[in-house]
Structure 1
Amino acid sequence: MNRSTPARWLSSALLTLGTSAALAHGDVTPQSVDTKSLPQLGAEWRVENPFRGNAEATRIGGSAYNQNCARCHGLEAISGGIAPDLRKLDNECASAKTAPKKAACVKEIDEIVITTMRRGRVRNGAVYMPPFEGILSQEAMWAIKSYLETRRERPM
């Protein structure tokens, strides 16, 4: 079978584009996060963000996010379409009518986010997000969540 010139060009372009897209995300090796300046949380995993509103955690989380999450979720948590836009994580919580409902919603989102960071996401055998447990500490993951709370699309 003889390929036409346009078909060869298209195959070559797609291969180049795929390679360029992969390289555009930079080093996919998880980067360590220095959390020595944060309170240490111990071995038991929290289900609610213990660093909420902590400026140091937010600073560390911003750096950790840029090093480990932005390649898929986008700079400043603004997705370019590869992965979910993390500014929208708790949009539904912002519209909760009462403070207890809002708090329960935020706690539920905290639990979903930390579980996803720890275990990753796999669907039909395809890895959509790698697991970070054993790579990033609990302190680093909660610092990232603290940073994401500053990037909310709909403030609480």
Structure 2
Amino acid sequence: MRFVHLVLLAAAAPALAAPPNPLRGDPAAIEPGRAAYAAHCAACHGDQAVSPMAEAPDLRRLDGFCRRLADAALKSHCLRDVDTYYLRSVLDGKVRAGVVHMPPWRGVLRDDEIWAIRTFVETRPLDPPKRTTSVDAARAAAPPH
């Protein structure tokens, strides 16, 4: 019986994955993505995809792990997984413990707008890592030698 479930799950897996972002790397998608982002996303996720609120994630970091991968095939697979997560999140929204953390955008945003937004976000630069440890703070406060 378990084998049948695994076979059914394996057969359904390709249908569960979204296609990769068809606009990734297309410079013509950035401006429409910026406009759609400003109209629909910026209120929660910040002007440049840098979230002003803890509840709304920093969208620039969605594929941070993928960016560090050296193997091209693995990186492509990773980005496809993140694209699937992104698409499902946008279409279906996010609800935790009965609280809506992100509304669903299915029927509001067209597919081309959704992918243009993702393309725009992928062009936003990442901030350098912040040094917030007590050791770093002590070093910054210490007088120069």
Question: Which TM-score applies when normalising by structure 1?
Answer: 0.66
Paired residues, number: 110
Match of 2:23 in 1: 51
After the TM superposition, list the runs of 4 or more consecutive aligned residues in structure 1 that deviate by more than 3 angstroms.
none
Provide the rounded CA distance (Å) in 1 between the counterparts of 2:101 and 2:115: 21
Match of 1:115 in 2: 88
Unaligned runs of 5+ in 2: 1-16, 128-145
**One-letter code of the match for 1:62?**
R
Aligned to 1:76, the other structure's residue is in SS state: coil
Give the counterpart of 1:132 among 93, 99, 105.
105
Compute the displacement of 1:48 (Å).
1.2
Match of 2:58 in 1: 85
Compute the displacement of 1:126 (Å).
0.5
Compute the displacement of 1:153 (Å).
2.1
Is the contact made by 1:119 and 1:133 (CA closer than 8 Å) also made in structure 2? Answer: yes
Give the counterpart of 1:67 among 39, 43, 58.
39
Cα–Cα, structure 1 residues 66 and 75, in superposed 2: closer, same or farther, change >3 Å? same
Q: Deviations over 1:35-87 (max 9, x none)?
A: xxxxxxxxxx9521111111221110001001110100011001112410111
Unaligned runs of 5+ in 1: 1-44
Q: Deviations over 1:93-138 (max 9, x none)?
A: 1111311111111111111101100000001110000000101111
Q: Tell me how large the CA RMSD over aligned residues is.
A: 1.7
Identity of aligned residues (%): 39
Provide the rounded CA distance (Å) in 1 between the counterparts of 2:28 and 2:35: 11
**One-letter code of the match for 2:104?**
P
